[in-house]
Amino acid sequence: MAEDAKTHPDVGSALGLLRRFWVFIRPHSAWLFSGLAVIPIVAGMATLRPLLLKRVVDEAIPAGDPEGLRTLALLFLGAVALEFSAMAVQVYCLQRSGHAAIYDLRTAIFRHVLRLPARFFDKNPLGSLLSRSTSDVEALGETLSFGVFTILTDVFMVGGILTSMFILSWQLTLLSLSVAPLLFLLVRWFSKNLRALQLEVRRAQGVQTGYLTEQLSGVSVVQLNGQEGLARDRFAGLGERYLRATKLANIFDSLLYSVMDGISAFCVALLLFFATPALLDDASWLGEATAGTLTLGLLFAFVSYLQRVFVPIREFSNKLATIQRAAASLERIYGLLDTLAEPRDAGGEDPLATWTGQVRMRDLSFSYAWGGAEDEAEAADGPVILSEVDLDIEAGEVVAVVGRTGSGKTSLGRILTQTYTGYRGSIEFVLADGSAVELRELSPDRVRRRLLMVQQDVFLFDESAGFNVTLGEAELDDEDAILTALETVQAADFIRERGGPDCAVGERGANFSVGETQLLAFARVAARSPTMLILDEATASVDSLTEQRVQKAIERLLEGRSVLVIAHRLSTVRHADKIVVLARGKVAEVGDHEALMARDGIYAELYRSGFDEASETAAASE
Amino acid sequence: MSEASADSDAPPAETPRGVVATVVFVLRFVLRYATRYWVSYLFGFLALAATNWAVVRIPTLVGEILNELEAAGSEGLARSEAAADLAVELMVWASALVIVRTFSRVLFFNPGRDIQYRVGVDLFSHLLSLQRPFYVRRKVGELVSVAANDTQSVRLLVGFAGLQVCNVLVAIPLHLWQLLRTDWVLTLWCVTPVLLGGIYMRWTVSRFYAMVRSSLERLARLSDRILESFAGVATIRSHGAEEAAVARFEVSNRDYLDLQLDVARLRAFAMPVLGFSGFVGTGLVLWVGGQRVLDDELLIGDLATFTALLMSLVSLLTSLAWVLTAVSRGTVALDRVQELLDRDPELPEASASHTLDASPRLELRELTFRHPGRDEPSLRGISAVVEPGQTLGIFGRTGSGKTTLIDILARIYSPPKGSVFIDGLDARHLELGPLRAGMAVVPQTPFLFSTTLRDNIRLLGEDAAVIAADDAARPESGLLAGLTRGRTDAVDGARAGQARVERAAGLDLRAPDPHLDAVIEAACMGPDLAALPEGLDTVVGERGVMLSGGQRQRTALARALYRRPRLLLLDDVLSAVDQATEVKLVAAIRGLSGQDGPDGQGQAPTTVIVSHRTSVLEHADEILVLDEGGLVERGTHAQLVGQGGVYAAAHEHQNEDQGGEAGRG
């Protein structure tokens, strides 16, 4: 049960979680309540049917009354029609409210995740995020539309039937239901084992599918290294595990199914066996009162009730498990929704409206362990990436930052765009009137409107080229504006060759070369024309010709704005007004190319040995 | 991957084929996989027949008892004993039903599982034998879905559907027979609405499946969108495009919701029709049957028999509707599985076997190669000779055919007849296994498995321990611990298989491995290992995400060197490595090519190395410069720089960018 406790919260906390979920259901509660309102009708009609049967057998037929028979039959058909109509309404209304709430939840999760800070994505693999936004939500949806409310229906149904049975004859009821407690225990035992088995089945299947996916993704490696036999044996081994679990589950499942199926027949037999003397004798053992009231019609009614009353018992334990699974999903979903998102601009005046592009950094220190961490004490340790950096970027100036891997140059861009928070010291954005705003006082979305960072890895969405320029933002979505942006970075030609901005870029930009992908990313910048640009130069291997085009596009982008280049290419550095050399998080040298070469320090050494092309991302996560 | 070839290789559409053809197709498959379980199926079928006999017998007995009671009236005990006896018989039948039904299900379902397992293993090992041209056309995700989901549908076809079809074949005639025997007039009355309901149900279920299929498609699209947006979250964030992304997401989300509501409507209003018709039938039993009791043409207990059999018939028809659809889905799935199983590996016939015991001599004669489905050849008329132990450099820009050349030498693509010779033998007709055993290939984008670094280099399947560890985290409860012991057996099985491999390779996995150490040294991985939390035992994460691009390339290089290859093919393997490391790696590779290789055997492997950096190629015995598949320049580094062509220009450009190359002769 330890496992159960871990993955399935108990029923109490499950209800608590569902209560919290009410926020999402409330807007659709009209559907919910309509669905709930008809439940008594469904249960009432289901209870009424056997009673009509009883009257047919006990009254109409013995009396030889065709009129009465017809009336009762019509009543029966009427009850059936009403029951099924009410049930249809109930199912539809409940599902509708469930799906609608899930729709809202899905959007809420998506919106929330997009606003989570970069730190969150460092720690959480995409796979688990995806499963929370899809499979967990699906599991919840399943429960909302079937599990929770059908249990209510079952309760009403069983309640109605039992009441009716007791009123008709409590002795016969007790008699025929005498096996019910045993049945209940049996079902519980089966279900518990089945649940654990199904967990094992899913796990075994997951491992096997994971192995399959990986081996097929790397099939060339497997083949080139002659690993086919080994892979096959491993796959078969994993398959055997799955096979064994499923076979065992089959046996349990079949037994449960058959027991449930046999039990109502058994109860009918019990009823008839004991009812026989009762019906024929004075049946004193069932109590004096019974003798007269026990009729053939009563047996008809009971036989009919017994066929229905056990069904919910079979389903109950499954439904409870579904609810618990949903609660576990909900718990994970809330774990995600409760993660603190980046603050968002509250509206009002844009404090950066008159920003000149000038930035003043004073005494700037930074560690990835600072900020974000809830616990300040824990935040204290962690490598310091930048320490006591003083750096000025004048309006319209191009500043290049160079340094070896791990010198902190990429981190600088991440701090300025508030991708990572928690810097110490001051970073001021100077406005036209000479006053300044401190970066940490600004909301990240405000900053990013004016200060754009272009990453090393260009990410293209599987949409049109135009979409990849606007990223779907309505105010940028104008064919002329897109073409102008493409023109600016000399990407218009190859886009036109492929049919204009509507051409598809393919999954992750598969239809474009690395260089073209770069140019598209630059077009994004051109379309937004930010006040300041941070350029994290790509280290990807691009052939010489494309590289020249990329270089030209960069030059155009630099025009007329403040630029911080995290430089990997010498040619870019030469265009810089100022070069800042970082070493171990400190500013080691500042000056232009000639001055720094003359100084014959770190820069000169870097220059001679070629620029560092090792991946910066590795350094960031150190 | 041209449009045309993608189309022609698309999985078969669900084209309706004739019933006979379908039956033949399914039977052929069943003969191939299911015949060995005939004993199980035979007893399963017997149990099924017994089950149905009991199912029909039980309501008949109830009716008979009620008839006895009715007849007995108040005449006393004498007659009632007959009813009591019948009630006892009923109990016996009820108990028997539990047993035979369990058997019928287990005996039908478990062979289905076995078949699924065997089909899965066959499919996987066949997929491993298929070559690159196949994998270019088909996405891995799609293949995984066939192997994981379609084999499930096949299992349902031979297990569940098999049971249900047999069940229905036995049960429906039995039910009708019992009904007709009791009263044929009433049977006609009440079975009519039920059969109509059944036909409607059949139609509804196929509509339902169509909806479910498209809702799964929309869900997949929705998941794609979510995954894509999350993967591109850095881009969305830095451009402040969050709201636009949400709006884009909402479109797919709304699409999905709309379909979900359609499904809900169907489920609420159309699905219950069959159940409804069953109750209408019951109403008719009351009405018409009651009248017939009044007319003395029917006994009153028979009404109960009728009602119960009718309900049982309704559930049979319901399952029939589902099963028919499951069968058609299963057939489609079987089609997809069979299509993969039947696929030819597309390898030319192997007429010779050649083991690379010594470094081979390579010869290209007028090699022209066109990728399947392309109009333009990727390589045109390339000729070259590489003597044993020599190094051939390949230079060219993106798309010039460098990688294609490596792929052909590695036999990832088969070379045309008479164009590639290894030790004088036509490579096209050499057996793959022995050839590849002596070669090592490092592709441009290295692929790492999500196992330990050690295993990624040695590729001996050591990660069984990783799986076992994951498994041990799972606590077990009571009885189940005993019942699922097989699970641990399976893992043990994997370990036992592992032990076999170890014995075969003559290695103890944990023993010190000097060759591994040498290889790590050669690939400059020492400092990286020191920085990793568990050194060589670090699990590198999915496709090596824990490592940087350079580290991944060097791991792949170490993997190649570990194999002590006689033929080494390197495809632009140093592109993500920094300058200083590049110098060391080039030296290490040259060290192999020098007089004494690390294996001490004295002979260097024949090497083909592709790069777009001239610094990597300087020491090659010959360099081929490719452009658009053709040879534009050839010669040694010095000759090419002297010629002042494409190579010299690139050399110039790269030198400038790398700071004049002052310190590097």
Which residue range forms the structural domain that includes residue A64?
9-169+321-341
Q: To 10 degrees, the CA torsion angle through A422, A427, A430, A431?
A: 10
Alpha carbons B148 and B117: distance in angstroms, whole number:
10
Q: Please give the angle made by the CA atoms of A546, A551 and A553, to the nearest 5 degrees.
A: 95
Which of A215-229, A279-293, A474-488, B356-370 shows the highest mean pLDDT? B356-370
Query: Are both A145 and A68 inside the same structural domain?
Result: yes
Domain of residue A147, CATH code: 1.20.1560.10
Answer yes or no: do A70 and B102 touch at CB < 8 A: no
Which pLDDT score is estimated for B462?
55
Query: Are both B529 and B616 inside the same structural domain?
Result: no
Alpha carbons A184 and A291: distance in angstroms, whole number:
31
Query: Are both B62 and B75 inside the same structural domain?
Result: yes
Contact B362, B409 (CB under 8 A): yes
Query: Are both B429 and B497 inside the same structural domain?
Result: no
Answer yes or no: do A244 and B412 touch at CB < 8 A: no
User: Could you tell me if residue B17 is inside a domain?
Assistant: yes
H helical segments located in B285-423: 290-294, 300-341, 402-409
Window from A41-50, A81-90, B19-28, B495-504 with minimum mean pLDDT: B495-504
Beta-carbon neighbour count of residue A143 at 10 Å? 22
Query: Are both B439 and B464 inside the same structural domain?
Result: no
Which pLDDT score is estimated for B489?
43
Which pLDDT score is estimated for B415?
92
- Residue matched to tokens 């609405």: B193
Window from A11-20, A149-158, B123-132, B601-610 with minimum mean pLDDT: A11-20
User: Could you tell me if residue B628 is inside a domain?
Assistant: yes
Average pLDDT over residues A285-310: 71
User: Could you tell me if residue A347 is inside a domain?
Assistant: no
- Nearest Cα to Cα of residue A300 among A4, A99, A53: A53
Q: Are strands B622-627 and B391-396 parallel, antiparallel or unpaired?
A: parallel
Contact B274, B318 (CB under 8 A): yes
Average pLDDT over residues A406-417: 82
Alpha carbons A413 and A448: distance in angstroms, whole number:
12
Strand partners, B379: B369
User: Which of A53, A247, A462 is the closest to B110 by Cβ?
Assistant: A247
How buried is A434 (Cβ within 10 angstroms: 0-12 exposed, 13-18 middle, 19+ buried)?
A: exposed
Q: How far is CA B343 from CA A170, B11, B197, B336, B339, in A?
A: 69, 12, 43, 11, 6
Give A311's contacts (C-beta < 8 A, 6+ positions apart): none
Q: For residue A610, is it left (φ>0), alpha (ψ between -120 and 50) or beta?
A: left
Tell me whether B19 touches chain A (CB under 8 Å).
no
H helical segments located in A287-368: 288-293, 296-309, 311-337
- Which of B64, B102, B479 best probes binding to A when mutated, by most A CB atoms within 10 angstroms? B102
List, as ranges, residues 381-440 from B with C-beta within 8 Å of A.
397-399, 410, 412, 432-433, 436-437, 439-440
Amino acid at A528: R
> Between A11 and B75, whose confidence is greater?
A11
Taking the CA atoms of A65, A70, A75 and A76 in sequence, report the sign of the dihedral they define. positive
Contact A485, A526 (CB under 8 A): yes
Query: Are both B36 and B161 inside the same structural domain?
Result: yes
Query: Are both A69 and A176 inside the same structural domain?
Result: no
User: Could you tell me if residue A432 is inside a domain?
Assistant: yes
Beta-carbon neighbour count of residue A180 at 10 Å? 15
User: Could you tell me if residue A223 is inside a domain?
Assistant: yes
Contact A523, A469 (CB under 8 A): yes
Alpha carbons A266 and A618: distance in angstroms, whole number:
69
- Which of A244, A342, A513, A570 best probes binding to B when mutated, by most B CB atoms within 10 angstroms? A244
Give A100's contacts (C-beta < 8 A, 6+ positions apart): A27, A28, A31, B257
Chain-wide mean pLDDT for chain A?
A: 81
Segments of chain B scoring below 70 in pLDDT: 1-17, 72-80, 398, 461-511, 541-546, 576, 578-579, 593-602, 656-665
User: Which of A99, A237, A610 is the closest to B493 by Cβ?
Assistant: A237
Query: Are both A71 and A24 inside the same structural domain?
Result: yes
- Nearest Cα to Cα of residue A534 among A510, A558, A560: A558
Distance from CA of A263 to the nearest CA of B (A): 7
Which pLDDT score is estimated for A160?
92
Query: Are both B382 and B519 inside the same structural domain?
Result: no
Query: Are both A414 and A548 inside the same structural domain?
Result: yes
Q: What is the gyration radius of the CA atoms in chain B, in angstroms? A: 35
Query: Are both B333 and B357 inside the same structural domain?
Result: no
**Can you give A141-209 as a three-state secondary structure string?**
HHHHHHHHHHHHHHHHHHHHHHHHHHHHCHHHHHHHCCCHHHHHHHHHHHHHHHHHHHHHHHHHHHHHH
Q: Which residues of B touch A537 (CB under 8 A)?
A: none
Query: Are both A179 and A272 inside the same structural domain?
Result: yes
Q: Which residues of A touch B129 (CB under 8 A)?
A: 228
Query: Are both A265 and A138 inside the same structural domain?
Result: no
Q: Are strands B567-571 and A398-402 parallel, antiparallel or unpaired?
A: unpaired
Which pLDDT score is estimated for B368?
92
* DSSP conformational letter for B544: G
- Residue matched to tokens 């075994």: A204
User: Could you tell me if residue B309 is inside a domain?
Assistant: no
First-to-last alpha carbon distance for chain B, in angstroms, is: 43
List, as ranges, residues 430-449 from B with C-beta within 8 Å of A.
432-433, 436-437, 439-441, 443, 447, 449
- Nearest Cα to Cα of residue B450 among A221, A242, A123, A119: A221
Q: How far is CA B397 from CA B104, B401, B518, B627, B646, in A?
A: 66, 9, 33, 7, 10
Which pLDDT score is estimated for B664?
34
Answer yes or no: do A114 and B261 touch at CB < 8 A: no
**How many domains, chain A?**
3
Answer yes or no: do A258 and B476 touch at CB < 8 A: no
Which pLDDT score is estimated for B510?
62
Alpha carbons B525 and A18: distance in angstroms, whole number:
52
Answer yes or no: do A261 and B101 touch at CB < 8 A: yes
Query: Are both A404 and A517 inside the same structural domain?
Result: yes
**How many domains, chain B?**
4
Query: Are both B66 and B13 inside the same structural domain?
Result: yes
Q: Which backbone phi and psi does B487 adopt, to 5 degrees?
A: -60, -50
- Nearest Cα to Cα of residue A313 among A461, A447, A186: A186
Average pLDDT over residues A467-485: 86
Contact B428, B398 (CB under 8 A): no
- Nearest Cα to Cα of residue B462 among B451, B471, B472: B451
Domain of residue A488, CATH code: 3.40.50.300
Query: Are both A374 and A451 inside the same structural domain?
Result: yes
Tell me which chain B residue has its CA closest to the CA of residue A90.
Answer: B268
Query: Are both A366 and A440 inside the same structural domain?
Result: yes
Alpha carbons B284 and B289: distance in angstroms, whole number:
7
pLDDT at A194 over 90: no
Answer yes or no: do A266 and B91 touch at CB < 8 A: yes
A390: which 2 tokens?
């003083």
Long-range contacts of B180-184 (CB under 8 A, 24+ apart): B182/B60, B182/B63, B182/B298, B182/B302, B182/B305, B182/B306, B183/B289, B183/B292, B183/B297, B183/B298, B183/B302, B183/B306
Answer yes or no: do B443 and A220 touch at CB < 8 A: yes
Which pLDDT score is estimated for B499?
44
User: Could you tell me if residue B437 is inside a domain?
Assistant: yes
Q: How far is CA A472 from CA A118, A168, A491, A562, in A?
A: 21, 68, 19, 26
Query: Are both B434 and B522 inside the same structural domain?
Result: no
Alpha carbons B624 and B646: distance in angstroms, whole number:
11
Altogether, the residues listed in chain A come to a count of 622
Q: Which residues of A touch B292 (CB under 8 A)?
A: none
Q: Which residues of A touch B219 (CB under 8 A)?
A: 134, 138
Task: State the ipTM, two decimals.
Answer: 0.81
User: Could you tell me if residue B117 is inside a domain?
Assistant: yes
Query: Are both B232 and B278 inside the same structural domain?
Result: yes
User: Which of B124, B246, B397 is the closest to A111 by Cβ?
Assistant: B246
- Convert the pLDDT of each residue in A519-575 to its tens digit: 888 888 888 888 999 987 754 445 556 667 777 888 888 888 899 988 766 666 777
- Convert the pLDDT of each residue in A329-347 to its tens digit: 888 888 888 888 888 877 7
Tell me whether B196 touches chain A (CB under 8 Å).
no
pLDDT at A370 over 50: yes
Beta-carbon neighbour count of residue A282 at 10 Å? 12
How buried is A383 (Cβ within 10 angstroms: 0-12 exposed, 13-18 middle, 19+ buried)?
A: exposed
Query: Are both B371 and B336 inside the same structural domain?
Result: no
- Nearest Cα to Cα of residue B471 among B459, B486, B455, B460: B486
Domain of residue B122, CATH code: 1.20.1560.10
Tell me which chain B residue has its CA closest to the CA of residue A405.
Answer: B578
Which residue range forms the structural domain that includes residue B221?
184-297
Distance from CA of A594 to the nearest CA of B (A): 14
Answer yes or no: do B484 and A280 touch at CB < 8 A: no
Choose the final residue of a domain: B500, B518, B546: B546
Answer yes or no: do A277 and B76 touch at CB < 8 A: no
Query: Are both A536 and A422 inside the same structural domain?
Result: yes
Strand A398-402's sheet: what is its strand order? A451-454, A532-536, A562-566, A398-402, A578-583, A586-591
Answer yes or no: do B69 and A130 touch at CB < 8 A: no
Which pLDDT score is estimated for A41?
93
Which pLDDT score is estimated for B594?
44
Domain of residue B657, CATH code: 3.40.50.300
Query: Are both A336 and A429 inside the same structural domain?
Result: no
Query: Are both A443 and A406 inside the same structural domain?
Result: yes
Q: How far is CA B367 from CA A274, B374, B429, B440, B596, in A?
A: 93, 17, 15, 22, 32
Query: Are both B189 and B241 inside the same structural domain?
Result: yes
Which of A208-217, A259-268, B377-386 shows the highest mean pLDDT? B377-386
Distance from CA of B314 to the nearest CA of A (A): 14
Q: Which residues of A touch B307 (CB under 8 A)?
A: 53, 304
Average pLDDT over residues A82-103: 92
Alpha carbons B30 and B48: distance in angstroms, whole number:
20
